[in-house]
Amino acid sequence: SQQGEEDPQALSIQEGENATMNCSYKTSINNLQWYRQNSGRGLVHLILIRSNEREKHSGRLRVTLDTSKKSSSLLITASRAADTASYFCAAYSGGGADGLTFGKGTHLIIQP
């Protein structure tokens, strides 16, 4: 079953603007991760936020986590053309499975 569900599915903004993507999940998690995928490439880990954290920063990235609402957001500030990519939230699905469960992703386009 799908753990994360990103919103919006696609987002197009001007370079320099901030981009916000949201993720909702279904079951309890220990941590939530965000990954980026450039077109036709593998995924790159961006940031991990633990269930006891509410906010975390890494460079131009800010991630929030609201466990009561089972939601997370990824904010990219001062966007650049190189930020154009698909962004996925992911969490370990628990039970016997050891792999990550991903949402469908948000495709972000930064217009120069």
User: CB 99 → other proteins: shortest distance, Å?
Assistant: 4
Query: At closest approach, how far in Å is the CB of 82 from other proteins?
Result: 18
**Interface residue list for other proteins (CB under 8 A):** 2, 4, 31, 33, 35, 40-45, 48, 88, 90, 92-93, 96-105
Closest to other proteins by CB, 15 vs 70, is 70
**Three-class SS state of 83:** helix
| DSSP sequence for 17-67 | S-EEEEEEESS--SEEEEEEE-TTS-EEEEEEEETT-SEEEETTEEEEEET
| Smaller CB separation from other proteins, 2 or 18 | 2
